[in-house]
């Protein structure tokens, strides 16, 4: 089955490249979002170091929301890694967004942890995030927590599994 391949480019607020994921498969796209899947994907850091993701992942990028969501299918269960970020932009088979460091990790038991607040505060100061941007990013973090607590899309049971199965069909596994 033929499938469309995208790269993912993460940037910092100052426009510098942060990280590149080489190959992800298009699973769905609407006016509101684009959903990609990958597994053992090569990732290139801004300093040139490379590494590979360890498990299948479904990535939800939003065109009008200030976050993206990675559903990782680990042996111990489904883990979500949510990045507070700019809405994504799609150009020439590349999904691009600004990573604002602040992250939310949701564990298989549904507990969660806010990550990298120190890194966020450092970059907020260094790159002079406007007050309005800071307010938006913190509000979006709260919205993400509420989405998960309420079991809203894409955290609803079965949503991620649907896309994971679609990904496996597309790549022939």
Taken in order of first residue, the domains within the chain and their CATH numbers are 5-171 (2.40.380.10)
Instruction: Determine the pLDDT at residue 98.
Output: 98
pLDDT of 71 > 60? The answer is yes
Omega before residue 154 within 30° of 0, cis = yes
Please give the positions annotated as active site: 19
**Coil, helix or strand for 67?**
strand
Task: For residues 18 and 102, give the distance between their C-alpha atoms in angstroms, rounded to a whole number.
Answer: 14
Cβ pair 5, 93 in contact under 8 A: yes
The alpha carbons of the chain give a radius of gyration, in whole angstroms, of 16
Q: How confident is the model at residue 166 (pLDDT cuts 50, 70, 90)?
A: very high
Cβ pair 58, 80 in contact under 8 A: no
The length of the chain in residues reads 173
Instruction: Determine the pLDDT at residue 2.
Output: 66
Taking the complete model, does pTM exceed 0.85, yes or no?
A: yes
pLDDT of 169 > 70? The answer is yes
pLDDT of 84 > 90? The answer is yes
Instruction: Determine the pLDDT at residue 142.
Output: 97
- How many beta carbons lie within 10 A of that of residue 31, not counting itself? 6
**H and E: helices and strands count for the chain:** 3, 11
Instruction: Determine the pLDDT at residue 3.
Output: 85
Instruction: Determine the pLDDT at residue 156.
Output: 87
């Amino acid at each position: 089955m033929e499938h469309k391949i995208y790269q993912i480019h993460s940037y910092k607020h100052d426009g510098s490249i942060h990280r590149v994921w080489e190959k992800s498969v298009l699973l769905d796209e609407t006016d509101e979002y684009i959903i990609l899947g990958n597994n053992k994907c090569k990732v290139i850091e801004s300093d040139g170091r490379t590494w590979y993701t360890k498990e299948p992942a479904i990535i939800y990028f939003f065109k009008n929301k200030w976050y993206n969501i990675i559903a990782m299918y680990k042996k111990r269960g489904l883990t979500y890694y949510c990045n507070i970020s700019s809405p994504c932009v799609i150009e020439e088979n590349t999904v691009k967004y600004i990573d604002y460091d602040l992250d939310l990790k949701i564990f298989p038991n549904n507990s969660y942890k806010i990550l990298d607040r120190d890194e966020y505060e450092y970059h907020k100061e260094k790159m002079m995030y406007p007050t309005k941007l800071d307010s938006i990013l913190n509000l979006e973090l709260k919205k993400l927590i509420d989405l998960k607590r309420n079991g809203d899309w894409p955290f609803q049971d079965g949503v991620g599994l649907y896309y994971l199965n679609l990904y496996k069909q597309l790549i022939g596994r």
